[in-house]
A and B are shown apart, each in its own frame.
Chain A
Amino acid sequence: DAGVIQSPRHEVTEMGQEVTLRCKLISGHNSLFWYRQTMMRGLELLIYFNNNVPIDDSGMPEDRFSAKMPNASFSTLKIQPSEPRDSAVYFCASSLSRSTDTQYFGPGTRLTVL
């Protein structure tokens, strides 16, 4: 199993541009989590899905952020327009949909907004 796959691994963009981060879940997993990690705020849960349905998006910073699961194995996190304060490492993780199950993290996307 290839594990959780994220792309791109690094993204540098200018303020105001649209950014799309991608995540492929582990086969058979049906929960998907998006996190953001910064020095100042640590690891924050942005949103999570179960069976393609958003369950909790209370961590999404503002309307500039949106996340989708067009199918059971793939998710996108979009930032439009991007701002320098969005610079962070974004992780996605997947798991089986039980609270005792391990979340498997992808390698992350390091986003820099200039």
Chain B
Amino acid sequence: AQSVTQLGSHVSVSEGALVLLRCNYSSSVPPYLFWYVQYPNQGLQLLLKYTTGATLVKGINGFEAEFKKSETSFHLTKPSAHMSDAAEYFCAVSPLNTDKLIFGTGTRLQVFP
């Protein structure tokens, strides 16, 4: 069965610092890959997704992620953190031929002034 591993349940950065949230998937066939963000007391919303084509994907709010097949990774980055980025971030995979999303356990990002 496909699975998603997010390393680090909590990540803390200073405002202006680089944000790096890690995601690895297990699959012999690369699935479709997603990053969602959840702000407090809200539902999840899509940040970005990789389906085909360019492996560097740009999303909303200055985030981007790179699909690396050789490393089975889809890490999320942002060059400069903002206080408003504080939230929980979920990596998810959608196995081919299914509409399901399999979510990781989430990484809570804290941003300090």
User: A residues engaging B (CB < 8 A)?
Assistant: 4, 31, 33, 42-43, 45, 48, 50, 55-56, 91, 93, 95, 97-108
Contact = CB atoms under 8 A, between A and B. Distances in A.
Interface of B: 32, 34, 36, 41-46, 49, 51, 90, 94-103, 105-106
A97 B99 contact: yes
A61 B85 CA distance: 34
- Classify the secondary structure of B's interface with A: loop
A106 B43 contact: yes
Contacts of B98: 56, 99
A6 to B, nearest CB: 8
Nearest to A43: B103
Given A91-B44, A108-B43, A103 B101 contact: yes
Contacts of B97: 99
A21 to B, nearest CB: 14
A106 B49 CA distance: 19
A4 B43 CA distance: 10
